[in-house]
Amino acid sequence: MYEVILGIDDSERRAIAQAETVADLPNAAETVHATLFHDFTENPTGASVHQMASVRRAKEHLEEAGVAVSLQESSGDPAQEILALAEERDADLVCLAGRKRTPAGKAVFGSVTQEVILNANRPVLVCSPSEAED
């Protein structure tokens, strides 16, 4: 099986774009196992990955495409947690959804995607929702 880690944030639109991208991989239904991962940096209510609408939507899309799916959650620095899970699972690919940010926004707030790309020792696929969906 080809192990793909999808770092899912709270955007349903980006999560669906990630799920569509993974479902479109060659022979995904037969060869891909997708781990949908959400990192709770702040979670005062004790929410679970199973309660995240974005994760549920991505899971539904992948299961409809016949892709095997599991869910994983953590709390901490999102980029570091994604990298740690990819290492733990010996992932073949990490799939993230990019966000549009200004250069100043990236400098001030950082970028999980950028940090994962720069520090991953495996392929990272960055996808984004189509412009028509804005």
What is the DSSP track for 82-133? HHHHHHHTT-SEEEEE-----HHHHHHH--HHHHHHHH-SS-EEEE---GGG
Give the domain CATH number at 74: 3.40.50.620
pTM of the model: 0.89
Is residue 105 pLDDT above 60, yes or no?
Answer: no
Q: What is the pLDDT of residues 64-99, one digit of tens each?
A: 999 999 999 999 999 999 999 999 999 999 999 987
Instruction: Give the number of domains in the chain.
Output: 1
Instruction: Name the residue with tokens 């620095």.
Output: 77
Model confidence at 132, pLDDT cuts 50, 70, 90, reads: very low
Structural domain boundaries, residue 120: 2-133
Model confidence at 128, pLDDT cuts 50, 70, 90, reads: confident
Contact 35, 82 (CB under 8 A): no
Q: How far apart are CA 60 and CA 16, in angstroms?
A: 9
Is residue 21 pLDDT above 50, yes or no?
Answer: yes
